[in-house]
Structure 1
Amino acid sequence: MALLIAAFYKYSGKEGDKTTLSKGELKDMLTAELGDILGKSSDKAAVDKIFKDLDANADGTVDFKEYVTLVACITMLCNDFSQKNNLVLTERVYL
C-alpha cells in the first residue's frame, strides 16, 4: 500500500495542487510506472480517455480516490489475464 501511495505523491503537485494529478502528471506516471503494462500510454488519445474516465467529478484533475480506481482496474485486469493464461501470481512482482 505504501508503494501505491508514494507513487501518487511522486507525481502529484509538480504542476499545482500536491493532492491531485494533472493530465500531464498522470501521463508522466503512466509512462514511467506502468509503461510495460499499458503499452502506448504516451498516446495522447489514450491518455485523454484514461484521464476523462478517472476524473469522476470532472474538475480537471485526478485526486487520490480517483487514482485508486485506476489501481483497482489494473489489478482486476492483471487478475483476469493471469486466470485466462493459467498463471499463479504467488511471488512478489515489482513494476
Structure 2
Amino acid sequence: MTSQLHQTMQTLVSVFHTYSSQEGDKNKLSRRELKDLLQNELSDYLETQKDSTSIDKIMAELDENRDGEVDFQEFAILVASLSVACYDFFCENQQ
C-alpha cells in the first residue's frame, strides 16, 4: 500500500511533467509552461492574472541558475514555500 506522502510526491512530479512536456525540454518549465501551471493549478494562491509582470517576477525568483527555465528542484521550492505560507490555513481547515 502506498503512503499518502508517497502519493503526494508522485502527484507533484506528475503535475510538473504535465506542464513541462508541452514544449522544449521535457524536464523544465518554460515561461509559458510555468504560466499555464500557475494559472491552472495555483490560481487560488497566486494573483498571476491581475499583474502581467507577476509571471516574470516568479520566474526570476525561481530560476536560480538563470537558464530561463524552471527545473523540478526550482519548482519544488515554490511548492514548499507556498505550503509553508499556507500552513495555518491548511491546519484550520483540516478540523
TM-score normalised according to structure 1 size: 0.81
The residue type paired with residue 90 of structure 1 is Q
The residue type paired with residue 27 of structure 1 is K
**What's the CA shift for 1:15?**
1.9
- Give structure 2 stretches of 5+ with no counterpart: 1-8
Q: What is the root-mean-square deviation in Å for CA atoms of aligned residues?
A: 1.7
SS at 1:17's partner residue?
Answer: coil
> Does residue 9 of structure 1 match 2:17?
yes
- Give structure 1 stretches of 5+ with no counterpart: none
The 4+ residue runs of structure 1 with deviation greater than 6 A are none
- Give CA-to-partner distance per residue, 1:5-59, whole Å, 9 cap, x none: 1110000021200000001000000000011121x21332111100000000000
In structure 1, the partner of 2:6 is none
SS at 1:73's partner residue?
Answer: helix
Q: Percent identity?
A: 43
Rounded to whole Å, the distance in 2 between the matches of 1:54 and 1:30 is 13
SS at 2:45's partner residue?
Answer: helix
